[in-house]
Amino acid sequence: METRTEIRRALERGRETTEELLAPISDEDLVAQISPRVPPLVWSFAHVARFEELWILRTVGGAKSIPDAHDHVYDAFRRERSNGTKLPTLNPAAARAYAADVRERSLEMLERIDLEAPDILLRRGFVFGLVLQNELQSQESMLETLQCRIGSEYPIVEAAAPDRAPGGPDEIEVPGGTFTLGATYEPWAYDNELEPHETELPAFRIDRAPVTNGDFAEFVDDRGYHTHKHWSEAGLAWREREDVRAPLYWEQESFGWERIRFGRREPITPWEPVQHVSFYEAEAYANWAGKRLPTEIEWERAAGWHDHEGKFRYPWGQAWMGFEASLDRRRYSPAPAGSYSGGVSPVGCVQMAGDVWEWTSSSFEPYPGFVSFPYPECSEVNFGDDVRVLRGGSWATDALVARTSFRRWEGPERRELFAGFRCARDA
């Protein structure tokens, strides 16, 4: 993404997919507070426009704030810390007009900016990449909100099953050695992906594919939620406080487990990767299976390092062609475990991009040489032992975000995410 034409096309595609996502939703539903844990859809849309206004029009362009844009309302960092307090928001018509006005002025500015300027915000269009990635990540957040509407159906795409990857062992042994951790040659990488650095790692084993619904149902049916030894102290306290007995959106019926997917009730698909589980649930399952969760360093080594070619942007190579993974909302659910012959990682793992975000055991911490940029809330204020890292992206993630170096961070109790996991163990 280095030319004006490429940047313009990427921004336009991002906005088109946002509008397509929200098109089936009535204005009444756009303003509804579906859950105290997720914002109304209209808030998410206006937040996208506010973020764009802040960074492109104000920070780079020097423009004054658009009146009545409610800066304090659409600051995601402040909203997270509002403890569920209802905040005033623009109505849908006003939000659309605001977003359209900001985008028109941003595209005008794109034509004037020097993409080779020494200012790192401008170089290679970084500020536009920052804005675009925020919109793409917000789209996934909107889908998480739509999934929360368990009583309302949302139109979804039912795609045919993809091709199968070649068979292999259940576990892959990854040899020890040195590899490069972090983003390399990524003009739009976030500060938490930098600086790339050499990392020594002992040998380990990692599951070839993500844990499936069928696998996880065995854990549930074996009273995994009620066996204290599988749970950490914090996980046990969370499970009892929230009275959790199965993955979110699962319900037990006389003939087996069902799930609610975008308002539709259906039997769980045993061969799909499990999703909507918290870190605590993933950790308990791994303990039950006699394994553990991989560290994020192990995960990145297995996903994106080729011993001869070096760092891969995606598990299969440097470019996304559209057939290697379940990304970009092409399925509205994970693909069957073991899919995508074109997406196999250098060590032989499958589905390490797309399908489900994968919990790791790692806390969200800075890499050596970390420099906060372009603002502390991008990463720095979220570092800590009480935050866990997820990797890989889900079926709802845009391919631009699903690079092997990308680090998503969330609280260990979060289950609204399209998140699952795979297990690991020492070699």
- SS3 label, residue 45: helix
> Are residues 44 and 99 located together in one domain of the fold?
yes
> Are residues 125 and 251 located together in one domain of the fold?
no
> Are residues 169 and 30 located together in one domain of the fold?
no
What's the pLDDT score for residue 147?
95
What's the pLDDT score for residue 81?
40
Last residue of a domain, one of 148, 175, 197: 148
What's the number of domains the chain is made of? 2
> Are residues 47 and 131 located together in one domain of the fold?
yes
> Are residues 223 and 349 located together in one domain of the fold?
yes
Q: How far apart are CA 80 and CA 224, in angstroms?
A: 32
| Residue 117: Cβ-neighbour burial (10 angstroms; 0-12, 13-18, 19+) | exposed
Query: Tokens 């995994």 correspond to what residue?
Result: 224
The pTM for the full model equals: 0.93
The CATH number of residue 374's host domain is 3.90.1580.10
Query: Tokens 């890499």 correspond to what residue?
Result: 367
What's the pLDDT score for residue 130?
97
> Are residues 29 and 160 located together in one domain of the fold?
no
> Are residues 86 and 234 located together in one domain of the fold?
no
Residue 101 host element (H or E)? helix 92-110
Q: How far apart are CA 309 and CA 352, in angstroms?
A: 18
> Are residues 117 and 214 located together in one domain of the fold?
no
- 387: containing domain: 154-427
| Residue 75: Cβ-neighbour burial (10 angstroms; 0-12, 13-18, 19+) | middle
What's the pLDDT score for residue 151?
86
Whether the Cβ atoms of residue 294 and residue 347 lie closer than 8 Å to each other? no
> Are residues 173 and 303 located together in one domain of the fold?
yes
Last residue of a domain, one of 131, 148, 165: 148
Structure tokens at 150: 């368990």
Q: Which amino acid is at 372?
A: S
What's the pLDDT score for residue 64?
73
Question: How many H helices and E strands in the chain?
Answer: 11, 14
What's the pLDDT score for residue 177?
96
What's the pLDDT score for residue 88?
59
> Are residues 120 and 220 located together in one domain of the fold?
no
What's the pLDDT score for residue 376?
87
The CATH number of residue 80's host domain is 1.20.120.450
Using 70 as the pLDDT threshold, list the residues of the chain that sit under it: 1-2, 65-88
Structure tokens at 421: 């996991």
HSE value, Cβ hemisphere, 13 Å, CA-based, for 309: 13
